[in-house]
Amino acid sequence: MGRTVCQAVEAAPDLQLGAQIDVGDDVNAVAGADVAVVFSVPDVVLEHTLACIRHGVHTVVGTTGWDAAKLDAVRQALAEAPAGVGVLVAPNFALGAVLLMKFAAMAAPHFESVEVIELHHPDKVDAPAAPPGTPRSGSLRPARRPAAADPGRHHDEPGRCPRGRGRRDPGARGTAARADRPRGGRARRSGEQLTLRHDSFDRASFMSGVLLGVRQVASRPGLTVGLDTFL
């Protein structure tokens, strides 16, 4: 992702690439930039984000693995940082996925049940084999709003996918499912099914969202979680 972001920044006429920081480099090289984009790994994402904030650099973060405690640490650092620093933490930069979440939220009050299916390439490092709601994979985020309309009803159902990856089939490749599927009953009663689908074929799919964040984050002081409020 980092390399793809660098290419996207270099291709954008209004942006200039200031520095590239990888493992082994000094993260303080970010000092002096207007905006930093963080796509390192979950273990170090908080440390990197806090370093950017300390230097007063607006920050766009795509790395997954955030929880409430880490977000609180960011809020605390922002309170102590130079006024006006903005941080955007976005679990998914694909504009289509962000829109899908919006459409799902619109639909949720009108449907009794929801099924969420994720399909991954086999090598995805944080494919969600954990219980639903575990904030490991950014792409799990769409599940939350429909779930909120029907709390406590989600359960793992990886076996429904032919190559399901989940608790019942931990060695299998590439597919994850979180389902609350009415087994014939309620769907038949309502007589309809709404399907929302988003496909991301390439890392390029995230770049318009990342650049949107880069261009807007300076005008949004404080912490923003999710790209939707930037749209």
Ligand X SMILES: NC(=O)c1ccc[n+]([C@@H]2O[C@H](COP(=O)([O-])OP(=O)(O)OC[C@H]3O[C@@H](n4cnc5c(N)ncnc54)[C@H](O)[C@@H]3O)[C@@H](O)[C@H]2O)c1
**CB-based contact 75:225 (threshold 8 Å):** no
CA 36 to chain centre: 17
Q: Which residues bind ligand X (CB under 6 A)?
A: 1-2, 21-23, 39-42, 44, 62-64, 90-93, 126, 138, 206
Closest residue to ligand X, Cβ-based? 1
Q: CB nearer to ligand X: give 70 or 181.
A: 70
CA angle 49/50/54 to nearest 5° reads 120
88 closest CA partner among 218, 192, 217? 217
Alpha-carbon gap, residue 197 to 97, rounded angstroms: 9
Annotated active-site residue in 58, 120, 121, 155:
120
Q: Is 120 a catalytic residue?
A: yes
Q: CB nearer to ligand X: give 41 or 79.
A: 41
Annotated active-site residue in 124, 154, 155, 198:
124
Q: CB nearer to ligand X: give 5 or 157.
A: 5
Q: Is 102 a catalytic residue?
A: no
**CB-based contact 97:142 (threshold 8 Å):** yes
* Residue 110 C-beta: closest distance to ligand X, Å: 28
Active site residue ranges: 120, 124
